[in-house]
Amino acid sequence: MITDQQTNTVYFSNLLPEEFPNEFQGLAKIIKDAGYKVKLLVGTEDFFCRDFMPVQVSEKDFVQFVFRPEAYLKGEELSFLTDPFQVELMTPDLIKPRYSPIILDGGNVIKGEGKAIITDRVLNDNRYQFPNDEAIIERLEFDLKCKVIIIPEYPNEATGHADGLIRFVDANTVFINDTQTEPEKEWLTKLLKVLEENNLKYIKLPCEVDENMETAEGLYLNYLHVGDLIVVPQFGFEADLKALKIITQVFPDCKVLPFKANWIAKEGGVFSCMSWGVKN
């Protein structure tokens, strides 16, 4: 499994420089100045390209899951549904992926060393084509070539993604959100139980997301990580500096930089959601 630390190229939707030219140029400059490449995906209909692009398993091995998110199949959202095959055909130099029958968004795959964390949304979405949950997990582990850890999806969150809930620090440690007034105590208890069962330690990052989850403002865990560069979203909140300090301390060998993120957070995601990092 290719982890964030191993990547050297960051792709973004071709819509970003069109809709947010100044913000995109500022972020791209940070990435390029750190010695990494920035490229654009062609033919996208959505900023959040991690969801519809393949998951990189090894340097020449990518697996494309079925991109059919329930939240996008109704009303106005349908117009934002990107066809991964169109992007593959229109974007130069992409490696042709393997194809999996599993319905799964890339934003629900949290990659670590030899393991991946995915919410149980993947089970709900695929039970119609597999005899049981164990068969779904077995197929996921075949596709991803690693151990798969299933965590509960956050209640009443439309996407069912894991990328707003958890992030690998290393093979044995994860970041989770520090929601001091967590209304979903039962969900948190279940999450911590899964971490304990899998011998995963956790570090809490501030989380200032509004309880109605109308935007992703305050979601620090969704930072951009490429190689030894980490770009931490900043929202103008008191917690900005605290999140930056924690991430800097956890990754002493990385260059950790702040960058304003309200512009993209108001669209529903932050830096990890809107980027697709690969090793090439």
DSSP 106-165: GGG-EEETTEEEEETHHHHHHGGGSSSHHHHHHHHHHHHTSEEEEEPPPTT-SS--STTT
Cα 194 from Cα 200, distance rounded (Å)? 9
* The pLDDT value given to residue 220: 97
What DSSP state is assigned to residue 118?
E
pLDDT on residue 186: 87
User: Can you tell me the distance from the alpha carbon of 21 to that of 66, in angstroms, rounded to the nearest whole number?
Assistant: 31
Rounded to two decimals, the pTM is 0.94
Return the pLDDT at 206. Answer: 94
User: Is there a contact between 189 and 197 (Cβ–Cβ < 8 Å)?
Assistant: no
Predicted confidence (pLDDT) per residue in 19-41, tens digit? 999 999 999 999 999 999 999 99
Predicted confidence at residue 104, as pLDDT, reads 96
Q: Report residue 256: phi and psi, to 5°.
A: -105, 120
pLDDT below 50 — which residues of the chain? none
pLDDT at residue 212, as a whole number: 62
Q: What is the Cα–Cα distance from 147 to 265, expressed in whole angstroms?
A: 31
pLDDT of residue 71: 67
Domain at 4-278: CATH code: 3.75.10.10
Which pLDDT score, from 0 to 100, does residue 73 have?
63
Per-residue confidence (pLDDT) for residue 13, from 0 to 100: 97
